[in-house]
Amino acid sequence: MAASVYGAETSAATAADLERTAFRRAEKKYKLYKAPLPKSRKKITVTKPTLDLAEVIDFRTEINETLHLQIGVIKVDCPDFDRPVFGLSDHPGFYFIPSALSIEEQCHWIRESLQSFPQPPNRTNLTPFYGPIYDLFDAAKRQEVFSNLENPGNYQGDSQKETMDSCKHPPIPATKLLRKLRWSTLGLQFDWSMRNYNVSLPHNKIPEGLCKLAKKMASPAMSKGEEFRPEAAIVNYYGPSDMLGGHVDDMEADWSRPIVSISLGCKAIFLLGGKTREDAPIAMYVRSGDIVLMAGEARECFHGVPRIFTNEESAEIDSLITQFTSKDEKFILDYIRNSRININIRQVN
C-alpha cells in the first residue's frame, strides 16, 4: 500500500499547529514543502498541502479590491515622487513601490550583486569558513575549483571562530561555493556573531550608484527637507527552497530612517506582522523591481520571506530572461532562473 507522507497524523499536526505563533503558522502556510527521500524502494505518494494564495496582496493589480479594502491598502500621496506608492493603514511607516526599477536597472543590480558585491573586503557568510574569496562568480562561470582555501581560524571580527584552528580545505568547486552564498555586506560591515556593526573592519563605501538609487527611493519615508544617508547594505541570496524567518531589524540607531529593500529575480511572498510573533502577518507578493520601505513603527514589526517561486510560470521573470541572451551572460541567466536577490540599504547612525 502506498504511504501518504503529509497526510498522516493529521490530528497531531493540528494540535502542534495551535501551539505555534500566528507568524509561524503563516510561514508554515506559505513555505515550500520538499518531499523527503524514500527510506525504501516502496512506492510512496506525496500529498503536498494545497497552497492557498487567496489572501496574498498583489500591489501590481487591482483585481481584488475587496481584499485590499479589508486589509487596509492605501495609496500614499507623494507629490515629489514619480512612481505610485502604497501603504497599509494599520502599519504606519510601511511603503510599497511596485515596479520601482526598470528592467535595465534590475539587470544591472543583478550583475553587481553576483560579480561585485561579494568581493573582499566585503564580508559574506563564506568568509568565516574560507577567508576572503576573490572573483567567486567568475570562477564559478569558468567551472574552476578552489584548491587553496583555508579555514581562517581566528578571523578578525568573527568571535565565534576564535576557537577554531586554521586548516586547509579540500578542493571545492566554485559553483558549489556560489550556491552556498547567502549574504554579503556592503559599506559598514555587520558582525553577525555579535549582532552589531563593526566599524573597525575594513570596508569600502557603498557604490555611488546604489547610494543615489537608495536616496531617491527612500524619499516617501523621509520628512520634508531630510535626506537618507546610505551607510550599510546587506545583500541576501535565496535559492529554490530558502526562506527568511520572521525577525526585526533593530541594530540601527535611528529607526525613523527607513530600510530600503530592493527585490530582484524570482517572485516571493513577503510577510509583514506586528510587534510580536502573536500578531497575524499580512502576506504580499514581491517581484523583481519592487521596493519596500520600512521606517518608524514599521521597523518594530516582525517580517520575513517564507517562499520564493522558481518555476517559470510563477517566478514571473520572463522580462529578465529576454535580457540575458548573450553567451557570456548565460551563467547569470541560469542562476537567476531559480534565485532571488534582495538588497536592503540602511542608515546606521
- Residues marked as binding for Fe cation? 247, 249, 303
Residue 2: C-alpha distances to residues 11, 12, 38, 43, 239 (Å): 20, 21, 12, 6, 31
Q: What's the grid cell of residue 54? A: 487567496
3-state secondary structure of 174: helix
3-state secondary structure of 22: helix
3-state secondary structure of 20: coil
Amino acid at 27: E
Q: What's the grid cell of residue 292? A: 519596500
Handedness of CA 202, 235, 197, 194 (dihedral sign): negative
Beta-bridged to residue 88, according to DSSP, are 73
Nearest to 291 by CA among 101, 114, 71, 105: 101
Pairing of the two strands 196-197 and 303-308: unpaired
- Measured distance CA(340)–CA(112) in Å, rounded: 14
Write b or e for each residue in 305-314: b if 16 or more Cβ atoms lie within 10 A of its Cβ, otherwise e.
bbbbbbeeee
Q: What's the grid cell of residue 189? A: 560591515
Helical (H) or strand (E) element with 105: helix 103-115
Question: From the annotation, which residues make up the binding site?
Answer: 247, 249, 303
Residue 269: C-alpha distances to residues 42, 139, 145, 159, 192 (Å): 35, 32, 35, 34, 25
Q: How many CA atoms lie within 13 A of 232 on its CB side?
A: 23
Residue 168: C-alpha distances to residues 121, 147, 325 (Å): 21, 9, 39
Q: How many CA atoms lie within 13 A of 35 on its CB side?
A: 12
